[in-house]
Structure 1
Amino acid sequence: MSARRDVEPRSVPKKAQGQWALGYREPLNKNEQGKKDDDPLNVRQRILDIYSKQGFDSIDPGDLRARFRWFGLYTQRQEGIPGGKTATLEPEELDAEYFMLRVRIDGGALTAQQLAVVADISSTYGRDVADVSDRQNVQLHWIRVEDVPAIWEKLEAVGLSTTEACGDCPRVMLGCPLEGVATDAVLDAGPALRATVDKYVGDPRFSNLPRKFKTSISGCASHCTNHEINDVAFVGVVGPDGTPGFDVWVGGGLSTNPRFAERLGVFVTSEEVPEVWEGVVSIFRDYGYRRSRNHARIKFLMADWGPEYFRQTLETEYLGRALPDGPAPESSPSHRDHVGVVPQVDGLVAIGATTRAGRTSGTALAGLAALAEKYGRGAGGPRVRLTAQQGVVVLDIHPDDADTVVDELRGLGYEARPSAFRRGTIACTGIEFCKLALVETKGRAEAIREEMERRLPDFDTPVTINVNGCPNSCARFQVADIGFKGMITKGADGADSEAFQVHLGGQMGTEAEFGRKFRGLKVTAAEAPDYIERVLTGYLERREGGEPFAAYVSRADEAWLL
């Protein structure tokens, strides 16, 4: 380990930011007051004892729009409210008497039995609608509070839950869907991820963080869990003595102030991951900014402190020991997924497939579970994984069955041999259900994808098209080749019209950068396919050799991209 002198933070906020470690314990906003008044984890019992029995109208507003989130429950958007009203109506005017329910699926890891239960809940209680998110969760819709206890009972019977699936707490922890079976993995990060989840999820010490806290723990050689944009990420590396372990990144996130994470420069063994994770999240709890919700993510603290001071604080105040210096990860690709037939270390294969921009159904998920039961050959039982690209992976398939499984997946709406457009298109929930959204996304993304397949059927290079309904970037529009951020514009007749601000050439990986945006460049939803066709056709005509789209955008004349 190299000797390091004491360092100072890059900067210090000019006024108090409600940091607990500095003595600022009095809540500075409504959200902080609500968490101080009652630990949000306590709302579970009220849901069981009161709200599920007395119905939606009995729910205390502080529980409904805040504490319910700690158990994966968000009120759904009232039907028929246009995007132009999103920012003008009061919360109670936007609320429907139904909920989105997020099932917590750490590492995207499911047994076929667990998936079958999630599918049954969707079909029985959620009008057969299900979304696979880019956080490896399944989101259900149309859920009534009266049905939540029965849903929890079903989930918990198979080892699943909704605990801390949302809220100012440690949310689902991402892991590679091929963890434990990938032929090129740096190490199997599954044990470290499971140990961290088991020890800390639902722990009251971490149920009141300044804002949400996103984690990835992965040994994936392709870096499929997108460590650059997580609050904390443990990235598989080979240590100085040849032992595999983790490099630690802190402070990534998108939304309205996007920022890539920074390396702390330490090497952490698998056994140390839970303790180091606890140290990082404790720094966030104690030093994180609580004055303004807009500046309460750990990325703002990291921007002010810098990685050297953050590391020093972690080691001296929370771990009580120095961590060894460690290497950076190997070069990181910008396009990451596990689509197609992929060899496993045991001679079996995994088959990864896309959804339709995240949208699926309980019926299709039940079919996926049955497929895994029929063809899965793993000693531990049939397994399915969800991906951070809104996809699915069936593990442990005999190579002789691969083509049959690919065909059966297609029949369920999952495509293991997709076009470039099907492979690279994701979308957030959008105005259909989300109270923050300005525009429709799922159907729009599918319409764009189908139209591009028709217009450019031979398009031969990876391209990501991320469709987002608002500035919060749940669908990562800033790091897409083509990112669409929903907005409302006025048409020629003065009426509101759905449109998108365009971001081009964003990517993660070794050459990570946020997409270019151009003053005044926006396209209406109807114009989006024409715009994409024009830009991609220009790319095909002007690209140099095997130049990726993001590299082309970085050198392109602005006129080529308008």
Structure 2
Amino acid sequence: MTQVTERIPRKAAAGGTAGRRSAKPNGQWKIDGTEPLNANEEMKAADNGLNVRERIENVYAHGGFASIEPEDLHGRFRWWGLYTQRKQGIPGGKTATLEPHELEDEYFMLRVRIDGGALTTEQLEVIGGISTEFARDTADVTDRQNIQLHWIDVRDVPEIWRRLESVGLSTTEACGDVPRVILGSPVAGIAAEEIIDPTPVIAEIARRYVGNPEFSNLPRKYKTAITGHPSQDVVHEINDFGLVGVVHPEHGPGYDLWVGGGLSAAPRLGERLGVFVGEDAAPDVWEGVTSIFRDYGFRRLRNRARLKFLLADWGPEKFRQVLEDEYLGYALPDCDAAPAPTGPGDHSGVHRQKDGRFYVGLTPLVGRVSGTALSGLARLLEEHGSQRLRTTPHQKVIALDLEEDRVEPFIAAARELGFEARPGLVSRSAIACTGIEYCKLAIVDTKDTAAAAARELDRRLADRSGRVPRKLSLNVNGCPNSCARIQTADIGLKGQLITDDDGEQVAGFQVHLGGTLATSEDDEPTLGRTVRGLKVAADRLPDYVDGLLQRYAETAEEGESFAAWAHRVDEEELV
């Protein structure tokens, strides 16, 4: 494999028009030069992460885990979708006190990149087979439209790549300081109400830029979301780069551009630049925004090396000016915001396609599946006349192209595999990160805790009369990094150890309430509210949420969403 090198020399002179060198450099290449200012930047400058594939195939797959160089293991492996997983049995209290090598096992999480969530049944069957043969039958459908496998031995990685690539899949840049998977509307080209089909734009961006050394050394990870569906179904507000379908009065269907969203410990919703992006221009605009991040993004401090910090520093007006003047060379048309969505974008349940057939949104509870289940679903789809499916940003799977008389038999059979087309209120929207089971950063269990809570709450709500929220998202995260988007959930839970009434440390959560993204005309995108000292033990989670919903039923105004209620009421109502 050809080795790749950096685009800009390490000691290039500062250039550009977007700023001057500060007294204390931020590591902005066009202002401060490209000399690395921390160990992570030194690692990337020493050897591009894309180059590690050759060593995995020719050295590490033969020598095993012990042969892996530390900088590759804890750095460059991510460029090919590989993270070491947590050693089994290490409690959450040790997460912050042990060194990475003490926390990690000699196995990997492997992330299969699925741009736009688009899969064929053949591809799904291959992923299922890899899971059962190499990953102890593990698989998670993520909220980034990927599928993650666990228990991967580095000796098996070349064969796994061979199988994935034989059906057009890869793990290229599924992790690392690179353009991550491109979120796309899971009903792209399918939905009758679609404004514009984003499939060509997603495909062209992936073709030009994924695995391209021009963009394989960004300050940190870079997330893209593109949709042409009126439900705005790709959580664009919390991505670095977002395109939302809109109809321009002069230019017709195209996209409204958003930049600079992100969560983690410093959450920030993205902002509109107020420009219209046509389909033909979209890949170039993506390149321009991404290049701004590469050239002007903060690299000195890792916790500020996301596009949201640059946007906060510049503001959207300056960001637009730099994009147009330095990177595009022309002005983009002004654009009004897309209309507010008229309903949720998880696509759960049964929906008619524009060709008259049907698609069915399936919920594998909190995204936890298995290779056996994935292979079974692939065969089930083919038995019912379909060869296509999609993953979603809501840990769901959508079966496409079903004839009307096949829908109900398919739903019944899918339920037997663990895929539910008509889940309860809480199960429908509950998502959870990987948690302490496999993640080295996690403090508490997430998947089992969230699944058990969702089942119990749905059971209780089924027997209850009175006002119930029209939607209720329960997002459970095992650490502060917000992979499960806790700040944008009706009820978001951040894992931590808490002290119970007996003075013992137990698994628990800090509570965020009232977060929401684009889901309806009634709700503005809002980050969740935290109540000082409000924490709940994991085993008390159903009781806490149940009590909260009872207070909502008693005091919410007619038509008031849970998110709006949670922001309106006094803190005493929330504890």
TM-score in same-fold range (> 0.5) = yes
How do 1:263-278 and structure 2 match up within 5 A? 263-278=272-287
Match of 2:396 among 387, 391, 397: 391
Aligned counterparts of 2:50 and 2:431: Cα–Cα separation in 1: 32
Matched, 1:145 2:158: no
Shift of 1:530: 0.9
8 Å contact 1:174–1:215 — kept in the other structure?
A: yes
> What is residue 565 of structure 2 aligned with on the other side?
552
Question: What is the CA–CA distance in structure 1 between the aligned matches of 2:258 and 2:22, rounded to whole Å?
Answer: 23
TM-score w.r.t. the length of structure 1 is 0.96
Instruction: Report the counterpart of residue 15 of structure 1 in structure 2.
Output: 24
| Match runs of 1:374-413 below 5 Å | 374-377=383-386, 382-413=387-418
- TM-score, with normalisation over the residues of structure 2? 0.94
**Structure 1 residues 460 and 257: CA distance shift in structure 2, 3 A:** closer
Runs of 4+ with >6 A deviation:
8-14
1:439 to 430, 435, 444: 444
Q: Give me the whole-angstrom Cα distance separating, in 2, the residues matched to 1:479 and 1:217.
A: 19
Contact 2:189 2:197 in 1 (8 A): yes
Q: Choose from 361, 374, 379 the match for 1:370.
A: 379
Q: Which runs of 5+ in 2 are unaligned?
A: 1-16
State the distance in 2 between where 1:489 and 1:12 align. Answer: 45
| Matched positions, count | 551
Q: How far apart are 1:238 and its partner, in Å?
A: 0.5
SS across alignment from 1:357: helix
Structure 2 residue aligned with 1:528, among 541, 545, 570? 541
Shift in CA distance, 119/256, structure 1 to aligned 2, threshold 3 Å: same
Deviation sequence 1:254-302 (CA, Å, 0-9, x none): 0000000011111111111111100000000000000011000000000
Q: Distance in 2 between matches of 1:552 and 1:202?
A: 45
**Is this contact kept in 1: 2:191–2:354, CA < 8 A?**
yes
Deviation by residue 1:29-77 (Cα, 9 ceiling, x = unmatched): 1110000000000000000000000000000010001100000000000
Q: Is the alpha carbon distance of 1:486 and 1:10 closer, same or farther for their aligned partners in structure 2, counting shifts above 3 Å? A: farther
> Deviation at 1:239?
1.3
> How many percent of aligned residue pairs carry the same amino acid?
56
Aligned to 1:122: 131
- The residue correspondences of 1:150-229 to structure 2 (distance < 5 A) are 150-229=159-238
Three-state SS of the structure 1 residue aligned to 2:420 is coil
AA aligned to 1:252 is G
Instruction: Measure the CA separation in 2 of the matches of 1:85 and 1:333.
Output: 45
In structure 2, what is the Cα distance between the partners aligned to 1:224 and 1:217?
A: 9
Cα distance in 2 for residues equivalent to 1:35 and 1:15: 22
Corresponding letter in the other structure for 2:436: I
Identify if the C-alpha distance between structure 1 residues 330 and 13 changes in structure 2 by more than 3 Å, giving closer, same or farther.
farther
Offset of residue 335 of structure 1: 3.8
Letter in 2 for 1:400: D
Q: Is the 8 A contact 2:140 2:147 kept in 1?
A: yes
- In the alignment, is residue 95 of structure 1 matched against residue 104 of structure 2? yes
Q: Give the match's secondary structure for 2:539.
A: coil
- Match in the other structure for 1:356: 365
Name the CA distance, whole Å, in 2 between partners of 1:10 and 1:502.
40
Q: Which residue identity is paired with 1:51?
A: Y
Quick check: 1:469–1:486 contact (8 Å CA) kept in 2? yes
Distance in 2 separating the partners of 1:394 and 1:531: 35
**Cα distance change on mapping 1:518 and 1:14 into 2, 3 Å:** farther
1:12–1:304 CA contact under 8 A, matched in 2: no
Partner residue in 1 for 2:311: 302
Shift of 1:460: 5.7
CA RMSD of aligned residues (A): 1.5
Mark the runs of 5 or more structure 1 residues left unpaired by the alignment.
1-7
Whether the 8 Å CA contact 1:376–1:395 is kept in 2: the answer is no
> SS in structure 1 opposite 2:321?
helix
Inter-partner Cα distance in structure 2 for 1:514 and 1:444 = 23
Query: Alpha-carbon deviation of 1:320?
Result: 1.0
Residue of structure 2 equivalent to 1:55: 64
- What residue is the counterpart of 1:5 in the other structure? none
Aligned to 1:538: 551
Please, which of 399, 402, 419 is the counterpart of residue 414 of structure 1? Answer: 419
Maintained 8 Å contact 1:99/1:144: yes
The answer (yes or no) to whether the contact 2:512–2:528 under 8 Å persists in 1 is yes
Deviation at 1:9, TM superposition (A): 7.9
Distance 1:157 1:465, change over 3 A: same
Deviating more after overlay: 234-243 vs 89-98: 234-243
- Whether contact under 8 Å (1:238, 1:327) holds in the other structure is no
Say whether residues 1:517 and 2:522 are aligned partners. Answer: no
CA 1:10–1:485: 2 relative to 1, 3 Å: farther
Say which is worse superposed, 290-299 or 326-335, in terms of deviation: 326-335
- 1:97 and 1:558 map into 2 onto residues whose CA distance is 46
CA distance in 1, matches of 2:21, 2:46: 29
C-alpha deviations, 1:375-413, integer Å up to 9, x for none? Answer: 235xxxx10100100000000000111111111111110
What is residue 450 of structure 1 aligned with on the other side? 455
Q: Please report how far the alpha carbon of residue 220 of structure 1 lies from its aligned counterpart in structure 2 after TM superposition.
A: 1.3
**Secondary structure class of the residue paired with 1:545:** coil
1:80 aligns with 2:89: yes
Give the aligned partner of residue 3 of structure 1. none
Whole-angstrom CA distance in 2 between matches of 1:59 and 1:237: 48
* Higher mean displacement: 195-204 or 451-460: 451-460
Cα distance 1:256–1:334, how it changes in 2: closer, same or farther (>3 A)? farther
